[in-house]
Amino acid sequence: MMKAEEIIREFSIPGKPVSIKSNKQGHINTTFISTFDDGRKYTHQMINSIVFPHPDELMENISAVTEHIRRKTGRDDSTLRVIPAVSGKPYFVDDEGNYWRTYSYIDGVISYDRVPDEKIAYSLGKGIGTFQSLLSDFDSTSLHIVIPRFHDMRMRFKQLNDAAKKDRKNRLRLVNAELSFLMDNKERGERIWDGFETGMLPSHVTHNDTKINNVLFSEDTGEAKCVIDLDTIMPGTILFDTGDMIRTACSTADEDEKDIEKMEFSVPFYKALIDGYMESAASFLSEEERSLIKESGRTITEIMAVRFLTDYLAGDTYYKTSYDDHNLVRARTQIALMKSMDRQWKDF
């Protein structure tokens, strides 16, 4: 296995790395941050090949989208910058066939796993709306479909049912309550995907993973400075993105909080988030899209519960986990969040 220093040498970066640190925030890729002798920093990632079987296509999407954003904003740190490998390609393939990429590091930012206050909720909404708006003139059909049917609730329930049937780890007996709650919500959860598939909801370029730690906030102003983790950029409905920002910006506990009593839906955070979002997105939203924003938060929270529970039953093969029941804990917090939304549904 090649060492991080050897991998870094395969990219066109002047100078020498003086430190390399690992970042454990994401559930999917393996991330390192390096600092070079001239003080510049870079992010190096091994792309998860189980999740992303065609890294070359994924990098083509990212290169096209980031160039588009940079051209429109005229600001280098408004989006990720892909640093090419010495070969000229946007990735390097190591001796075991792993794909690596390098981005310049976005400096002067804070990354949150949970929204600390209404100001950051507002900034997140505004940042996601701006991101969608910058890409509203980008032809979504030119993008590769990186993970087909990523937000297809019917497919996600099928995967859950398959995992339950196989029950590879004998865990099914532990999740009766969770499974039955999700099954009761299946039909309602399918509405947004169905609306997208039938064309009732228009296709846009969507990020598909707009959770809060995929947005970096300016240390000085608290504004959203850069939307990162662009692996799942694909055609979709903007409701996939409003949904995931609602899920992660309006929760009072971490995604993997063990005490579900701590997980509540925050109406004040929701209001701040949507204020920010509307400021940058109102001009391109259809009536149908507007009317489903609130529902999108519930739907995306549900799809995460389904996916975490599926991975728990399948034996933790998809998400990175730190302990045995990690995926079950995550599924339970998502269900708790849905229930809290339901209790307050009339208030937001």
Q: For residues 44 and 52, what is the distance between their CA atoms, to the nearest angstrom?
A: 16
Q: How many residues bind ligand GN1 (CB under 6 A)?
A: 12
Between the alpha carbon of residue 105 and those of residues 34, 42, 43, 82, 344, the distances in Å are: 9, 4, 5, 10, 40
Q: For residues 60 and 47, what is the distance between their CA atoms, to the nearest angstrom?
A: 14
23 or 252: CB nearest ligand ADP:
23
Number of other residues whose CB lies within 10 A of the CB of residue 138: 16
Q: Is 120 in the site for ligand ADP (CB under 6 A)?
A: no
Q: Is 232 in the site for ligand GN1 (CB under 6 A)?
A: yes
Site for ligand GN1 in 9-38 (CB under 6 A): 26-28
Q: How far is the CB of 173 from ligand GN1 (least distance, A)?
A: 25
* CA angle centred on 173, ends 170 and 177, rounded to 5°: 140
CB-CB contact of 305 with 338 (8 Å):
yes
Q: Is 215 in the site for ligand ADP (CB under 6 A)?
A: no
Q: Is 245 in the site for ligand ADP (CB under 6 A)?
A: no
Number of other residues whose CB lies within 10 A of the CB of residue 41: 15
Residues 6 or more apart whose CB falls under 8 angstroms from that of 210 comprise 128, 227, 241, 242, 244, 245, 248
204 or 211: CB nearest ligand ADP:
211
From the list ligand ADP, Mg ion, ligand GN1, none, partner contacted by residue 105 (C-beta under 5 to 8 A by kind): ligand ADP
In the set 126, 207, 211, 326, which binds ligand GN1 (CB under 6 A)?
211
Q: First and final CA of the chain: distance in angstroms?
A: 52
Q: Which stretch binds ligand ADP (CB under 6 A): 99-107, 148-156, 269-277, 338-346?
A: 99-107
From the list Mg ion, ligand ADP, ligand GN1, none, partner contacted by residue 103 (C-beta under 5 to 8 A by kind): ligand ADP
Q: For residues 237 and 48, what is the distance between their CA atoms, to the nearest angstrom?
A: 25
Q: Is 229 in the site for ligand ADP (CB under 6 A)?
A: yes
Q: How far is the CB of 331 from ligand GN1 (least distance, A)?
A: 11
Q: For residues 344 and 348, what is the distance between their CA atoms, to the nearest angstrom?
A: 7
Between the alpha carbon of residue 249 and those of residues 13, 213, 276, 345, the distances in Å are: 36, 10, 12, 16
CB-CB contact of 114 with 108 (8 Å):
no
214 or 251: CB nearest ligand GN1:
214
196 or 240: CB nearest ligand ADP:
240
Q: Is 31 in the site for ligand ADP (CB under 6 A)?
A: yes
Q: Is 189 in the site for ligand ADP (CB under 6 A)?
A: no
196 or 308: CB nearest ligand ADP:
308
Task: State phi, psi for 83 to the nearest 5 degrees.
Answer: -95, 120
Query: Which DSSP symbol is given to 2?
Result: -
Q: How far is the CB of 157 from ligand GN1 (least distance, A)?
A: 16
Q: For residues 334 and 267, what is the distance between their CA atoms, to the nearest angstrom?
A: 16
In the set 28, 62, 272, 273, which binds ligand ADP (CB under 6 A)?
28
CB-CB contact of 2 with 95 (8 Å):
yes
Q: How far is the CB of 209 from ligand ADP (least distance, A)?
A: 7
In the set 12, 25, 73, 344, which binds ligand ADP (CB under 6 A)?
25
Note the residues at the interface with ligand ADP (CB under 6 A): 23, 25-29, 31, 43, 80, 103, 105-106, 111, 213-214, 216, 228-229, 231
Note the residues at the interface with ligand GN1 (CB under 6 A): 26-28, 51, 209, 211, 214, 229, 231-232, 255, 304
